[in-house]
Copies of this chain bind each other. A is one copy, B any other.
Amino acid sequence: MYLYDMNLSQVEKISKALGDSHRLKILQQMQKNKGKLECTEACNLLSLAQPSVSHHIKKLVEAGLIHQYKIGRHYHYALNHEVLDMYREALKQL
């Protein structure tokens, strides 16, 4: 799969996911935290109710920007660098 292999509707979805300050803060915090974050951490960070944070995380997951996994009893989310790189490459063509 080539880096530039991303269609307009994928670019739209990722742009939408990135077009919210809360979601950008989640991604920023993940970066500071070795690419990982817990949902509860994000709740504290954003001063948002837990379902709101869950909603934002879902948008990021649906855009393919992060993925969920588990360590012991805790859920984690991690940035998907490949998708972000593909997105950045796709924008080059504009």
Q: In the docked arrangement, what's the CA distance between A93 and B29, Å? A: 11
Indicate whether A33 reaches chain B with its CB closer than 8 angstroms: no
| Residues on the B chain within 8 Å of A79, using CB | 94
> Is the C-beta of A11 less than 8 angstroms from some C-beta in chain B?
yes
Q: Is A45's CB within 8 Å of the partner chain B? A: no
What does the 1/0 interface line of A73-94 toward B look like (CB < 8 Å)? 0000001000010011001111
A91 to B94, Cβ gap below 8 A?
no
A21 at the interface (CB under 8 A from B): yes
Chain A residues close to B by CB (< 8 Å): 8-9, 11-12, 15-16, 18-21, 24-25, 27-28, 30-31, 79, 84, 87-88, 91-94
